[in-house]
């Protein structure tokens, strides 16, 4: 069954999911003085940390706050729909 049909069958809008524990991809980029961390599935969900561990803890907290805000406003959690693929380019 396609994802959209399965979502509708469970009363969830396509591209969204019911509230349950889930896993989101986070991207961590080194920057001067630490790391920038963000979750592509959650628009605007960015943070930073001086160390990798701090950036991961901060992005977890940012994701939890983002999802809690959605829940409080009666919205459902976005489904992750990203593809990460290395792409070779000629120089």
At residue 56, does pLDDT exceed 70? yes
Stated pTM of the model: 0.74
CA dist list (Å): 16 to 8, 9, 59: 10, 13, 21
Q: Do residues 24 and 42 touch, judged by C-beta distance below 8 A?
A: yes
pLDDT tens digits, one per residue of 26-41:
999 999 999 999 999 9
């Amino acid at each position: 069954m396609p994802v959209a049909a399965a979502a509708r069958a469970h009363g969830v809008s396509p591209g969204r999911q019911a509230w349950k524990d889930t896993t989101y991809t986070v991207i961590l980029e080194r920057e001067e003085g630490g790391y920038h961390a963000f979750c592509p599935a959650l628009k605007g969900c960015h943070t930073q940390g001086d160390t990798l561990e701090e950036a991961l803890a901060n992005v977890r907290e940012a994701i939890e706050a983002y999802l809690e805000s959605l829940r409080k406003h009666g919205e459902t959690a976005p489904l992750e729909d990203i593809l990460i693929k290395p792409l070779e380019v000629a120089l």
